[in-house]
Structure 1
Amino acid sequence: MQKPRSFETETKLEYIDQELLDFDPSNPRFGGSMENRKPEEIQKALFEKPYFASELVESFLKNGFIDYEPLVVRREGQRFTVIEGNRRLAAIREILANPNRYKGKTDDLKSIPALVFPDKPDDEQKSEMRVYLGIRHLNPIREWPSRSKAVYLDLACKEPGGLDRALEETQLKKVEARRFLVPYRLLKHVHVELPAEVDFWMLGEALSRTGIKKFLQLEIDSKTLEILNCDKKSVNLLLDYLYGPIQKDGRRDVSRRVVEDTRDLSRLSKVLGSEKAIAALRKGSPLEEAEILVDTREESIKRLAKVTKELGVLIGKLVSRSRDEDSTHLRRTYEEFKTAVRAFTIKEH
């Protein structure tokens, strides 16, 4: 039977001086990017992509702090660590640090309503925190970056009850959790860390393609969504295709990536089923060229007809007003080529 809570261990709503509040560098929303950073560095980072705390400033100046949407904090001795509301705290501190720049309802920003959890919450309070944060940020109502969702859910899975309890508390379906939890765990499995600025969602989308999963030899526990097996070399190749190869300075050369956006992923999935096409990618060929190597004969004929038409438009644009010998020869040669292509495609059909 759980012991009755004392005043110090009770969860309660308090109004707290903003100077007593601290950012939480380990907050899952940050995806590990704020670890070991100073408060002023976190403050600056929260005003940049992808957090954009600056977007909250105007609302605070116009409406003040809305009491029915308190921060969520954990007591740390005489101070409080912000579990939920780091962006809002950053916006408030920006306003109060620059009184000459910002005019509006600033008086009620000095004492902020907060739901206070004790420094050593019991199991019920831990569950309350997970439910609150999960519903608030893992669902579409309030979006965290995909990487942050994955960090949070992976931590929640380590609590008693594992993934099933985490999904129940956050009201997420397993298929939704899979999209960001599996890529996060895959990166951990192969000991690769992506830079904070890259599009983590791209990897999640890639892993939903059958051909890509087969290429990676990816095996996942359907119950826990833990990674059972994968080919590390293939995972690193996939990351090169998605984000560009790693340079000497440790950064990825995005100019050499194979995939430009998620629309290319189905094409890449098809290409990765052919050793010949994979070899072409390794030699630096673009996805379009590698794709030709896996086309069926019918697809190749359609591609030929399309390219021929596009070639005609290009030649027409370049030599439409030219009457010199070279331009005339080019037009005549193209017409002969187009006639030959048409005859070939008719014969094939």
Structure 2
Amino acid sequence: MAESRKSFTVRRNRPKFRERFPMTTSAAAKKTAATTRRPSPAATKVAAKSRPTAKTGRKRTSKADLPREEENKSSQGPVLDLPEGDSLEIEPSRLLLDPDNLRLLERVGETFQNLELKLYGQPSIQKKLFDVINSDPRFDIGSLAASIANNGFLKHERLIVARYDGEKFLVLEGNRRVTAVRRLLEENGPTLQKLRPTVRESLQTLPCFVLKGSVIGTSTQQLAAYRRASEIYIGMRHLMGAKSWEPASRYEFQSRLIFDEGWSASDVAERFGRKKAEVLRDLKAHVLYHDFVKFERANSIEHSLTYNAFAEAARAPVISQWLEWSADEMQYLNRENEDAFFHYLITRLRGASSSSEDTDDDLVPELSAEMAVRRLRDMLRLEDPTIVESLLDRDFKSAEILFEERKEGALPKKIASFTRTLKRTTTEDLTDSPETEARLLELHKQVTKMLSMIKALSGE
């Protein structure tokens, strides 16, 4: 044990996991049990003989009849022994990716099934694991690596590891973060010279919670015990951990960085592992929402709208173009069109609310707002001047009637459906019905006639 600690830096400046949760550890449970006098086997037998049977007519003991200790015992779940371990700083090269990581179950198939423990640390196995995690878009290692490259490795988020042998540690929780660090090492070299000094320093060693126990070696039982311990820790982290921000909170935070701190959308994307297009879309939604709040105050209108409606608008390029979004000034320039958009939303929502009396009031506005935004998007896509003019005149009923008349009608859709059906037709289908040839000839006749009419109308 002492030899394995010579090869990595040990920093014991964090409290042990047991010290953070002193009242729920196994030691506390044992202490409680030791202070409770247990009856002898003989006394138990005597008590069993003297206990009244069902024939005595005695009612079943209720919860109110139980002593306080028994009541607590009946209402509590099983005792949860939190894992013990040490907080250590370990070099990335000594951390092994876990082939049995739950995130990999659907991605590796049978590649690592029934893999012997002694092979976990093989360079070829570790390389395959790295390639799988690094290349799978669902892990999004690129964004995480970009965030670490800008912010450094966050020291408060410890990896959960177990001793694999005298030199290596198996990562039971944190494989994605370890993969991101390895990616940075591959891209920037072992010295990480391309990164800032503070970032380089944070990647020299990674914060780990090393579960207490002997090395895994070839013992599947020891590995199973470590997995059980790590699952308790992981479960507490995910069930009791911080809740993800709602979209509104995310939009507000990003907008403050951009408008108050002078960050660019690229800065935000790089620092927080997001795509620049996503940051810009959030920013558009944020600006549109605050413009709507000003619109409400100016027009003495009170209506509850969530960010979702404006996020839907931000996702539609045709709406951003109509409202004349300026990436340089980070605002919408066409106030006339923006006011028409807001009036359209309010009008459509009032109609939805009056026609949906039996529906949950909290759900109708949000859903109707998103539907209204999508309908406006579809109207603008037609690029019809008359429809746009009706929208600006706030004659929304006429705009929607024109839209229904001029959008792609039933005939083109039916023709597209017929075409798809014919493409899927097999030789067996053609020989099944004797009437098929006659009907195809009739269809050909009608198609020829319609093509002639189209040519005549177009002046060809």
- Does the pair score TM above 0.5? no
Superposition TM-score tier, normalisation by shorter sequence: 0.3 to 0.5
Q: Greater CA radius of gyration, 1 or 2?
A: 2
Larger relative helix fraction? 2
TM-score (norm 2): 0.31
